[in-house]
């Protein structure tokens, strides 16, 4: 009986050791899957408070500062422009963008969001993420705008507070 227990503990320890080695791996294999690396922060603008999570897998990095998140393809470099910027918006500002959006180049509408291309070639995405939560992602020119913007996940604070008690 003791031998069986020792063998079981040894096997569990060995298995746990294998799982730990694979955590955070940047390459995927049958034995060691890739785990996403993310960064999150609360951003607010007046009554608008949202939790922003950014996918950092593949060497991306993020800097949260002054109610915004800056996303870099590589290490944070304050001397180089970010690949994307995410900021919260007040309802009045969001409504102004909504009013002018259909006349913009490459205007696209999605469920509770829309995007268009600015004159400088950057692509802006606007999201209504709750009754008082609005968010904009601006992806710099030359980037795959849909791929970069998909690295952002945004939740309004009232959604998070409601779901915590469930």
The winner for highest mean pLDDT among 9-13, 26-30, 144-148, 156-160 is: 144-148
Same structural domain, 44 and 119: yes
Same structural domain, 115 and 87: yes
> Is the distance from CB of 129 to CB of 135 less than 8 angstroms?
yes
Is residue 51 over pLDDT 60?
yes
> What is the rounded average pLDDT of the residues 23-30?
40
What DSSP element (H or E) covers 21?
helix 2-22
Same structural domain, 72 and 144: yes
Same structural domain, 158 and 111: yes
Exposure letters 137-150 (e unless 16+ CB within 10 A, then b): bbbbeebebeebbe
Instruction: Please tell me the chain's helix, strand, coil percentages from 3-state DSSP, rounded to the nearest 5.
Output: 30, 40, 35
Same structural domain, 27 and 108: no
Range of the domain at 19: 1-35
Same structural domain, 130 and 63: yes
Predicted confidence (pLDDT) per residue in 7-17, tens digit: 333 333 333 22
Q: Tell me how many domains the chain contains.
A: 2
Same structural domain, 84 and 24: no
> What is the rounded average pLDDT of the residues 22-37?
48
- Report which of residues 131 and 62 the model is more confident about: 62
């Amino acid at each position: 009986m003791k031998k069986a227990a020792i063998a079981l503990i040894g096997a569990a320890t060995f298995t746990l050791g294998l799982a730990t080695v694979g955590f955070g791996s940047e390459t995927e294999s049958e034995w060691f899957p890739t785990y996403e690396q993310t960064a999150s922060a609360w951003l607010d603008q007046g009554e608008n408070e949202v939790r922003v999570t950014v996918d950092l897998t593949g060497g991306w990095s993020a800097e949260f500062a002054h109610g915004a998140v800056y996303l870099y393809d590589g290490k944070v470099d304050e001397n180089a422009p970010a690949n994307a910027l995410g900021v919260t918006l007040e309802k009045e500002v969001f409504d102004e963008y909504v009013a002018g959006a259909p006349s913009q180049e490459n205007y696209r509408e999605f469920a509770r969001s829309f995007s268009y291309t600015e004159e400088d070639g950057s692509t802006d995405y606007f999201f209504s993420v709750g009754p008082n939560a609005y968010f904009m992602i601006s992806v710099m020119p030359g980037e795959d705008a849909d791929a970069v913007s998909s690295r952002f996940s945004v939740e309004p604070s009232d959604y998070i507070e409601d779901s915590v008690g469930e």
